[in-house]
Amino acid sequence: MVDNTGASASSEDGAIKEQDRLLPIANVGRIMKQILPPNAKISKEAKETMQECVSEFISFVTGEASDKSRKERRKTVNGDDVCWAMGALGFDDYAEPLRRYLQRYRELEGDRANQEKADNSNTEEKARGFVVV
């Protein structure tokens, strides 16, 4: 398994440190526990193995999404790029639910932004002495 405490490359030579390449093991363990029964135990080896796998998977998908955005002369990878990459890499069973999630997330964020805008507008009107009914 990987020893996350000692294995790191110097950032001066441009190499990515091992600890920066992997998702935090505490987060991985917390996600794993969510799907298991409350009394289930997870070995350190299982957490480390999952940490390696999910980190590699994320790098794989993100790399494909990054290539797409670069080809389109964009510097920012967005959610649509990730969804496209999932499908392009053969993860169709995951790509469509991810697209639906992204769409719903954007709708909720838009609703929240509109609500904040309305709240700020009402606050400004109250500060100027207007009463909103």
* Domain containing residue 41: CATH number: 1.10.20.10
In a domain, 32, yes or no: yes
pLDDT above 80 (res 7): no
pLDDT band at residue 17, thresholds of 50, 70 and 90?
A: confident
Structure tokens, 117: 């805008």
| Structural domain boundaries, residue 118 | 91-133
Helix residue spans in the chain (DSSP H): 18-21, 25-35, 44-71, 79-88, 92-127
Provide mean pLDDT across the span 21-25: 92
pLDDT above 50 (res 4): no
Instruction: Give residue 27's pLDDT.
Output: 95
State pTM to two decimals: 0.68
Provide mean pLDDT across the span 32-39: 94
Provide mean pLDDT across the span 74-80: 95
Cα–Cα distance for residue pair 35/51, rounded to 1 Å: 16
**Distance, first Cα to last Cα, the chain:** 64
Structure confidence by residue, pLDDT tens digits, 83-119: 999 999 999 999 999 999 999 999 999 888 888 878 7
70 and 98 both lie in a single domain: no
pLDDT band at residue 127, thresholds of 50, 70 and 90?
A: low
Instruction: Give residue 131's pLDDT.
Output: 54
Tokens 């964009």 -> residue: 74
57 and 108 both lie in a single domain: no
Instruction: Give residue 6's pLDDT.
Output: 44
69 and 5 both lie in a single domain: yes
**Residue type at 15?**
A
Cα–Cα distance for residue pair 26/47, rounded to 1 Å: 9
Structure confidence by residue, pLDDT tens digits, 43-74: 999 999 999 999 999 999 999 999 999 999 99
**DSSP-derived 3-state class of residue 50:** helix
